[in-house]
Amino acid sequence: MSAMNRRDFLRRTGGLIAGSALPLSLIELAFADEQQNFTFAYISDSHIQHIKGKDFVRNWDRGLIRTVGEANLMDPRPDFVMYGGDLAQLGTKAELDHGLELMSALRHDKVHYVMGEHDYYLDLGEYWERQLGPQWYSFDHKGVHFVVLNSVLTYDEWTHNRWSSGEERMAVMAGLDNPSGSPFMVGEKQRDWLRDDLSMIAKTTPVVVFSHSPLQKIFKNWNFWTEDAEQVQVLLKPFDKVTVFYGHVHQIQYNQIGNISFHSAMATAWAWPYPETYAQVDSLLPKLTVEMNRADPFFERDATGWQFVDVWSGNATLHYSLTENQPRTVAFNPKTGRPEDTVYQNDRIPPQQHF
Amino acid sequence: MVRDDPDYQPRFKEVFGVSGDAITIEHVKQAIAAFERTLISGDSPFDRWYFGRDRKAMSEAAIRGFKVYMEQGRCVSCHTIAEDHALFTDNRFNNLNVGFERIAGRLPKLTAAFEKSKRAGGNVDVAVLSNANLSELGRYAVNDQWRSMGAFKTPTLRNVARTAPYMHDGSLKTLKDVVSFYSKGGRVKDKDPINAYQSSGIRPLGLSDKQQADLVAFLEALTSPAYAKSK
- Better-scored residue on pLDDT, A30 or A97: A97
CB pairs under 8 A between A and B: 123
Interface test with B, best of A11, A16, A17 (most B CBs within 10 A): A17
B134 contacts chain A (CB < 8 A): yes
SS3 category, A93: helix
Of the partner residues A15, A18, A19, the one whose CB lies closest to the CB of residue B123:
A15
pLDDT by residue (tens digit) across B163-195? Answer: 999 999 999 999 999 999 999 999 999 999 999
B19 contacts chain A (CB < 8 A): no
pLDDT by residue (tens digit) across A29-40? Answer: 333 334 567 899
For the CA atoms of A28, A32, A37, A38, the dihedral, rounded to the nearest 10 degrees, stands at 30
Residue among A262, A145, A246 at smallest CA distance from A203: A145
Pick the residue from chain A with its C-alpha nearest to B104: A69
Residue among A286, A295, A280 at smallest CA distance from A352: A295
Q: Which domains does chain A have, with CATH numbers?
A: 40-341 (3.60.21.10)
pLDDT by residue (tens digit) across A286-337? Answer: 999 999 988 999 999 999 999 999 998 889 999 999 999 999 999 999 999 9
pLDDT for A280 equals 79
A73 contacts chain B (CB < 8 A): yes
B77-90 core/surface letters (b: 16 or more CB in 10 A; e: else): bbbbbeeeebebee
The angle formed by the CA atoms of residues B152, B157 and B162, to the nearest 5 degrees, is: 110
Q: Taking the CB of residue B106, how many other CB atoms lie within 10 A of it?
A: 13
Task: Measure the CA–CA gap between A164 and A172, rounded to whole angstroms.
Answer: 12
pLDDT by residue (tens digit) across B57-95? Answer: 999 999 999 999 999 999 999 999 999 999 999 999 999
Residue among A280, A278, A247 at smallest CA distance from A263: A247
Kindly report the three-state secondary structure assignment for every residue of A242-269. EEEEECCCCCCCEEEECCEEEEECCCCC
Q: What is the DSSP letter of A23?
A: P
Interface test with A, best of B106, B147, B205 (most A CBs within 10 A): B147
SS3 category, A311: coil
Task: Say which CATH superfamily domain B45-96+153-230 falls into.
Answer: Cytochrome c-like domain (1.10.760.10)
Show residues of chain B in contact with A13, CB under 8 Å: 4, 123, 126
- Å from B177 to nearest chain A CA? 23
Q: What is the largest CA-CA distance in chain B?
A: 60
**Taking a C-beta distance cutoff of 8 angstroms, is the pair A162, A169 a contact?**
yes
Residue ranges matching CATH 1.10.760.10 in chain B: 45-96+153-230
Q: Taking the CB of residue A34, how many other CB atoms lie within 10 A of it?
A: 10
Chain B residues 52-81 with a CB less than 8 Å from chain A: 74, 77
pLDDT by residue (tens digit) across A13-29? Answer: 333 333 333 333 333 33
**Taking a C-beta distance cutoff of 8 angstroms, is the pair A57, A51 a contact?**
yes
